[in-house]
A and B are shown apart, each in its own frame.
Chain A
Amino acid sequence: MSLEEYKGVFVFAQQVDNVLDGVAFELLGKGKDLAKDLNTEVTAVLIGSGVKGLADQLAEYGADRVIVVDDPELKEYRTEPYAHALASVINEYKPEIMLVGATAIGRDLGPTVSARVKTGLTADCTSLEIGDFPLVAAPGKESEQKHNQLLMTRPAFGGNTIATIACPDNRPQMATVRPGVMQKIAPIASAKANVVEFNPGFTPNNRYVEILNIVKAVKSTANIMEAKILVSGGRGVGSKENFKLLEDLAEVLGGTVSCSRAVVENGWLPVDLQVGQTGKTVRPQIYFAIGISGAIQHVAGMEDSDLIIAINKDEDAPIFDVADYGLVGDLNKIVPALTAALKAELGK
């Protein structure tokens, strides 16, 4: 593989039901930074059926070029036709970097495609930058140091260590990126991208699966990834009914209730409200951690919140290590008092 042939930053623009996923815009935002460092362009790869109309939206969020693979076989996400589409785009256009959102789709597609095009893939990255590999050349081996490499940083071992990974000898350098981690740019109205249509042809084979049905969970709640204020409860809240206290607090502040994994496992709240490593990554302006001990798996999903307020009866709870304000005591007394105090402060 001649590495010099590979150019440009590519982003997989995930869409479902012809609606682009927010992570596509986040990846474009990051892709733009990386492309600037590499003095190259950002290309969005749009795969689906009847999706060409979404290209303008990708342009508004920073795509210089959009490669569209449009075919009826691509109507719903299925591993085989999508992997064929993305791998064919990579083989044809030879990107230097290929970013994919770490969603239920991206974490299925990414590894399949990386194995097919025989390159490395770093999972669930939280930071991406361009740099030298290795950081400092070994004495006498200066010529072996590679420049302009994608350095991919991700938590591992349940968030207990952070590793930075490079892919020096294979292309593209592939990464899946956690939704909610990268920042999208403010959309540039009426921006246009160079739209290229590419279709490698689709012939069903033994690897095509048949979709029998798709069931969307009833969205009873706001999207916690978009919320500015989150009032999050853990096992310490004690019961499903007790979440009323948190709802009252959230209502006063115009916030949203979220939770830890223990709450979902107890059946108190649905999984789409779960914050943490196996849930969602959030970065609200204020995060209330109420009755949450602060296991690393939870903290990994909320530590970038602007302001963290922890309420817990155990003064040794690890949540206080990441909190900006800590209140030790019985949440059944503190939360209603806080709701009342905030009401008074806000003149409600």
Chain B
Amino acid sequence: MRIYVCVKQVPDTSGKVAVNANGTLDRASMATITNPDDLAAVEAALKLKDETGAQVTVVSMGPPPAEGMLRECIAMGADDAVLISGREFGGSDTFATSQIIAGGLSNLGVGPEDIIFCGRQAIDGDTAQVGPQIAEKLNIPQVTYAAEIHKNGNTLTVKRLLEDGYMTVEVSTPCLITCVKELNQPRYMTVKGILECYKKPFTVLDYEALKDEPLIDPTTIGLKGSPTNIFRSFTPPQKGAGKMLQGSNEEMVKELAESLAKKHVI
């Protein structure tokens, strides 16, 4: 059994976010991290590896520096890593991204016992689309928002989070599961893992390597293969500053209560 984990390197949007004058993100000045939901996916795969001895392969599509993130996943315990990288893949929206990753996974081979893990969503795009679209393009079942995963033979029992509770579903392999952060606590890299992460197999799949895949076609990848186009992008306008109340606590609350009453909002 092989477990593929799709991971993405993202700018750390929880820290200070730098925005260029034209409204685009100043990625160069920001720290990059492994997308948090994807780390939960890595941990879910490593747990299954601990239980079943499965081979865990981490897969990312991105520019060459994403290698560092993939090596970190190996240092956590993954067996090997695949970086899908090429100029032809740049500018992809979710449709084209999922097309390329599905093409890459097909190329690596998705067997009847295999599982693909993804994060629920990446913190930069926030779309939560790539996982389900990969499942669609590989024609395999999917379960999104997984908060608990158990494996019995070739079926998985997955607890899927809903807004007002959860449902438990049973799905057979091969399948794709998207994980939420609440699923687990990702393990740390080990010293041994860090020492050995440069000795483990690392494959780069470029356009040449994938061009014969049925899913990969100049009209389905990159900017050309993306149905959606950015029309404009801007920084959200700041609302004008309100009124800072002054004085003692009693004076402040009295003024507030009176203005609310005067405005008839209470």
Contact = CB atoms under 8 A, between A and B. Distances in A.
B265 interface: yes
A104 B162 contact: yes
A203 interface: no
B250 interface: yes
B95 A345 contact: no
A213 interface: yes
Contacts of B34: none
Interface stretch (B47-55, B64-72, B125-133, B184-192): B125-133
Given A307-B265, A320-B241, A326-B245, A160 B25 contact: yes
Nearest to A107: B128
A214 B167 contact: yes
B236 A155 contact: yes
Interface size range on B against A: 35 or more
Contact of A346 (B127, B171, B266): B266
Nearest to A119: B227
Contact of B166 (A215, A285, A297, A333): A215
A338 B266 CA distance: 13
Contact of B94 (A83, A104, A111, A213): A111
Contacts of A137: none
A325 B233 CA distance: 30
B249 interface: yes
Contacts of B157: 212
A131 B256 CA distance: 43
B227 A120 contact: yes
A321 B249 contact: no
Given A211-B168, A219-B164, A326-B244, A122 B228 contact: yes
B19 to A, nearest CB: 6
A115 interface: yes
Majority DSSP secondary structure for residues of B touching A: mixed
B172 A165 contact: no
B257 interface: yes
A118 B137 CA distance: 10
A259 interface: no
A340 B23 CA distance: 45
Contacts of B106: none
Interface stretch (A52-60, A66-74, A167-175): A167-175
A258 B63 CA distance: 41
Nearest to B18: A160
B235 interface: yes
Contacts of B160: 104
Contacts of A134: 231
Nearest to B245: A327
Interface in B209-238: 226-236, 238
B108 interface: no
Contacts of A346: 261, 266
A160 B17 contact: yes
B136 A111 contact: yes
A248 interface: no
A184 B157 CA distance: 38
Contacts of B242: 308, 320, 322-326
Nearest to B98: A115
B167 A213 contact: yes
A237 B135 CA distance: 43
B171 to A, nearest CB: 4
A152 to B, nearest CB: 8
Contact of B226 (A120, A212, A337): A120
Given A79-B141, A133-B231, A320-B242, A104 B136 contact: no
A161 B126 contact: no
A348 to B, nearest CB: 11
Nearest to B134: A115
A103 B163 contact: yes
Contacts of B33: none
A209 B226 contact: no
B239 A303 contact: yes
Given A156-B126, A209-B171, A272-B163, A79 B231 contact: no
A39 interface: no
Contacts of A251: none
Given A121-B228, A157-B13, A309-B256, A108 B266 contact: no
Contacts of A118: 95, 227
Nearest to A164: B231
A217 B11 CA distance: 34
A168 B253 contact: no
B258 interface: yes
Interface in A283-308: 285-286, 296-297, 303, 306-308
24 contacts: A111-B98, A111-B128, A111-B131, A111-B136, A123-B129, A151-B231, A158-B126, A161-B234, A161-B236, A164-B231, A167-B227, A215-B167, A286-B266, A303-B239, A307-B265, A324-B242, A326-B242, A326-B243, A327-B245, A337-B249, A341-B254, A342-B257, A345-B258, A346-B266
Given A133-B229, A168-B229, 5 more contacts: A115-B95, A120-B226, A156-B233, A303-B239, A330-B249
Interface of B: 11, 13-14, 17, 19, 23-25, 93-95, 98, 123-133, 135-137, 139-145, 157, 160-172, 226-236, 238-239, 241-245, 249-250, 252-254, 256-261, 263, 265-266
Which 8 A-B pairs have CB atoms at the shortest separation, nearest pair first?
A: A120-B227, A158-B13, A120-B228, A111-B129, A123-B127, A115-B136, A324-B242, A111-B132
